[in-house]
Chain A
Amino acid sequence: MSETKAVKPVLKISNLSLERDKKNVIKGLNLEIGKGEIHILMGKNGSGKSTAALSVAGYPGVEIKSGKIFFNGKNINEMSPVDRFKSGIFLAFQNPPMIEGLTVSALIRRSVSSLGILSPIAETKKRLAPFLPILKIDESFLEKQVNKDMSGGEKKKSEILQLVAADPKIAILDEIDSGADIPTIKQFGKVLNLLKKRGTSFIIITHYEKLIKYLAPDYIHILNGGKIVFSGDVKSQAGILKRIEKEGFDSFNEKRTQ
């Protein structure tokens, strides 16, 4: 973003270069996310979207070659994934792994406990309550083992549920809409809009416009070749999605800030 934000950004990525499996995937990424903003990050497969997301959450398999990640003004390059979560960063996984024997409710409880909340059980209940009807989740879902015997959509629902329980300052959703059907995506849209109103910031990685349709995103960024080649605010760029659909991501080969 070229314009300087009036308030301090929640997350600031500054000139970040990342290596994954010895490959330079992200080359000088710059991004600023303000409080309560929804940023859409798009780009074709292999453009580095997931790598960028993982690096914000502290995935040890992604190496920072240069640049800095600031969270609430603090450099978090060296912060552990656990501490990033505790300080308010949440990553919803594209392909969350199965954790056999651990139920969704037990995971959520532990997760909330780690935040240092005194009565995690009551607090978890309180945090989940408004969202269970929206997501059409009953008790039996909470007692399922994490990502075991779950459909693609259910896995994503479990991620969203963990997100609302964690109540983070910023959530990065890596293809939360893949594997989910339209009614489910609609539910996600409702949840995210509610959280946005509370002040949660979002980076939403997606290939599709389905989810975007149900959201009120603030900015859209297109990643290509490890760099943001296009950034724009959604209101003034109403035609952007159509252009992506028509011309593909490759038409955005240089950065144009509007």
Chain B
Amino acid sequence: MKKGLNKNIIKEISRTKDEPQWMTDFRLNAYDVFKSKPMPKWGPDLSDLDLSGLTYYIPPQTEKVSSWEEVPSDIRKVYDKLGIPEAEKKVLAGVSGQFESEVFYAKIKDDLKSRGVIFTDTDSALKEYPELFKKYFMTKCVPVGDNKFSALHGAVWSGGSFLYVPKGVKVDLPLHTYFRMNDGSTGQFEHTLIIAEEGSEVHYIEGCTAPIRLASSLHSAVVEIFVHDNASVKYSTIQNWSNEVFNLNTKRAVVYKNGSIEWVGGSLGSKKTMLYPGSFLMGEGARSKHINITMAGRGQWKDAGAKVIHFASDTRSQIISKNIIKDGGRANYRGLVKVIKGAKNVVSHTQCDTLMLDSRSISSSYPVIQVGDPSAKVGHEAKVGKIGDEELFYLASRGIKQAEAMSLVVAGFIDPVTKALPLEYAVELNRLMEMEIENSIG
């Protein structure tokens, strides 16, 4: 596929994927919306993002399979190194893997399949479950026109996971998708759609990594989650992009009566990140919890936070944001908590903590709170801490070397996040953090 984007390229993507006409039209319309919208004027400076120099779609390099043995050895090697096939055996209910634009592997445990759980790639879902797809895809949760990058996503989306959990089904093990971007100057636009029907429960984990690349790449995913009455969804993600990647995502959950969404995120790497998972609490008693940790190092600019809108009474939200900055990195918290007029007895609490590993790094906080109902209790607290020479000397005087000392302090700081992750991922997150710190110490 050629670099850059125009209607012919979009048509070609749709044709290559053998999509129904409505999706081709959907993409073309999204492209018009994308062109009509200006670049965001807030957040990180995106002027160094060359949208015309990107390749927006890479056709599949392999057939879709459901056995690791059938995965081509070069791709298999990458996933083996990450321990994915091993983890699938032990701790997961299902796994999906995406390399560049296309999902190459998807599997779910048989008993879940028989109970009606659908876990497949989003492209297959378009063809196999057209009714469900049309009802939920970029309609009520993240419409195409939500922002410039959601519109771009609508035009060029490819891959991602589709997860449907029927009424009353509780999935006890997490389902996991792993994305990987290997080529420079590419865009990855996976679309994840999760529908949890009434009274169902599921934990979905997404891991995204990119190896070191020189040319810039764009990752612009959309995640849409529907949490129906009394359902509960936990969405966890650990992202570790290489330092050239622009990571501009739109993730949102619509939560109905007494439903609950929990976002757990660990964001490492990337050049610039804009990420504000949203929870729209539509039904009475709906709850949301956002736990996010970002690390920004040299040349990195993270603009992350959360967006919670309380549309209904007795809704609750909690936001815990933890930023770690080092080597002159920049990390902002940007959050919106909004209580719509008439939504009674809303309770919301935000906690933003920043840990600075040196004094060259920059941290800012932009919390916006809009309360439309006097019965709401909305709280916000922010804290900035620094690992100083004093702490490092203290730990050194107890036999603990600098790199280990920093890792210890960081591990303590991110404890609320690691606690919310399954053990394997908590270990992985700690390990990634340690590697980051070791690299920065040299």
Contacts and interface: CB of A to CB of B under 8 A. Distances in A.
Interface in B400-440: 400-401, 404, 408-409, 411-413, 415
Interface in B368-404: 385, 388-391, 393-401, 404
B398 A166 contact: yes
B306 to A, nearest CB: 22
Contacts of B412: 99-102, 145
B398 A111 contact: yes
B399 A57 contact: no
Tier of interface size on chain A: 20 to 34
Given A100-B409, A102-B409, A110-B404, A60 B398 contact: no
Contacts of B390: 97
Contact of A58 (B391, B395, B397, B404): B397
A81 interface: yes
- Tell which of A80, A91, A101, A115 has the most Cβ of chain B within 10 Å: A101
A101 B398 contact: no
Contacts of A110: 398-400, 404, 408
A61 interface: yes
Interface in B36-75: none
Given A99-B391, A101-B413, A82 B396 contact: yes
B393 A59 contact: yes
Contacts of A107: 395, 398, 400
Interface string A40-84: 000000000000000001111100000000000000000011101
A252 interface: no
A91 B397 contact: yes
A193 interface: no
A81 B408 contact: no
Nearest to B415: A101
Contact of B409 (A99, A111, A162): A99
Interface in A90-125: 90-91, 93, 96-97, 99-102, 106-107, 110-111, 113-115
Nearest to B395: A99
Nearest to B396: A81
B398 A162 contact: yes
A97 B405 CA distance: 13
Contacts of B399: 82, 85-86, 110-111, 113-115, 166
Contacts of A61: 389, 393
A228 B412 CA distance: 43
B419 to A, nearest CB: 11
A163 to B, nearest CB: 10
Given A82-B400, A82-B401, A110-B400, A99 B394 contact: yes
Interface in B259-316: none
Interface in B147-186: none
B408 A99 contact: yes
Nearest to B404: A110
Contacts of A82: 396, 399-401
Interface in B74-101: none
Contacts of A84: 397
Nearest to B399: A114
Contacts of A162: 398
A23 B388 CA distance: 22
Contacts of B393: 59-61, 81
B385 A60 contact: no
Contacts of B395: 99, 107
B400 A114 contact: yes
Nearest to A98: B391
A69 B411 CA distance: 36
A101 B400 CA distance: 16
A57 B409 CA distance: 21
Nearest to A80: B396
A215 to B, nearest CB: 23
A78 to B, nearest CB: 15
Given A101-B413, A110-B400, A166-B399, 17 more contacts: A58-B396, A80-B396, A82-B400, A84-B397, A85-B399, A86-B399, A97-B390, A97-B394, A101-B408, A101-B412, A102-B409, A102-B411, A102-B412, A106-B408, A110-B398, A110-B404, A114-B400
14 contacts: A80-B396, A82-B396, A82-B401, A85-B398, A93-B394, A99-B394, A99-B412, A100-B409, A100-B412, A101-B413, A101-B415, A102-B409, A110-B400, A115-B399
Interface of B: 385, 388-391, 393-401, 404, 408-409, 411-413, 415
Interface of A: 57-61, 80-82, 84-86, 90-91, 93, 96-97, 99-102, 106-107, 110-111, 113-115, 145, 162, 166
- Lowest 4 CB-CB distances: which A-B pairs, in order? A101-B412, A114-B399, A81-B396, A111-B398
